[in-house]
Amino acid sequence: MEWTGEGLLIGVRRHGESSVIAEAMVVGRGRQLGLVRGGRSSKQAAALQPGNTVQLTWRARLEDHLGAFTIELLQARAAELIADRRRLYLSQLVCEHLRLLPERDPHDRLLGMALRLLEVPPDGAELVRFELAILDELGYGLDLSACAATGVLDDLTHVSPRSGRAVSRNAAQPYLERLLPLPSFLSGRGNASPSDIAAAFRLSGHFLHSHVWGPRQLDPPPTREPLVELLSRPLD
């Protein structure tokens, strides 16, 4: 068995004395793992950094085997990321989110979103949309299209913490303490203020805890909290 494809490196872990197991999101193939023989050598160190785009050739005797990767560096981002704390944290968080996806299940929309996030200055609104897209493709997407109580399409201001469905301003009034605020930019209205960004991260974080991290007994990625703080600061 053999295939070749372009992908984003999202993880590397040591294997034996000289090799590593590399993890990548590959166009049309999803999250893939493979053994890189000699991957701990200085010759391969520059290519084998999460956040880099690489050309991968995977070979195995049978399709369900781990297989081995041959890797060619296409775009190095690691040095740029290390020089900017916000970009570094964002890259680490994006990679951790992509590792939540099932193995060998294509998610090209998420891969495209991840690559765009890595190419531009860190953007809190786009990162929140990425987290909501992760939830959606894992089967836990929020329904922000209409009010869960009345069916109205406008003035959606809150989200039910249980169902993940939007609630309109009028319908939310008796239950404000139980509902999560819905920043207007997530329903296509207006720009995102720093307080909106913070509220949006609380929203996506709640459902990631409820549906992903909690059930899998995972801790939130350690870079998420400091990155959220940086991205939701008021502009000077």
Per the CB < 8 A criterion, the answer to whether 41 and 20 are in contact is no
Is the Cβ–Cβ distance between 167 and 147 less than 8 Å? Answer: yes
**DSSP assignment, residue 165?**
B
pLDDT > 90? residue 11: yes
Q: pLDDT tens across 107-152, in order? A: 999 999 999 999 989 999 999 999 999 999 999 999 999 999 999 9
Cα-based angle 8, 76, 3 (whole degrees, multiple of 5): 40
User: What's the CATH number for 2-77?
Assistant: 2.40.50.140
Given a contact cutoff of 8 angstroms between Cβ atoms, the answer to whether 172 and 156 are in contact is: no
Give residue 158's Cα distance to chain centre. Answer: 23
SS3 122: coil
* C-alpha separations of 211 from 163, 199, 222 in Å: 11, 19, 18
| Extents of the domains making up the chain | 2-77, 123-231
Give the model confidence (pLDDT) of 58-88 as tens digits. 999 888 889 999 999 999 998 888 889 999 9
How far, in Å, CA of 8 to CA of 163, rounded? 33
Question: What is the percent of the chain with per-residue pLDDT over 70, rounded to a whole number?
Answer: 99
Ramachandran sector of residue 151 (left: φ over 0; alpha: ψ -120 to 50; beta: rest): left
The pLDDT value given to residue 42: 86
pLDDT above 90 (res 45):
no
- Residue 74: what pLDDT? 96
Give the mean model confidence (pLDDT) for residues 207-213.
98
Q: What percent of the chain has pLDDT over 90?
A: 85
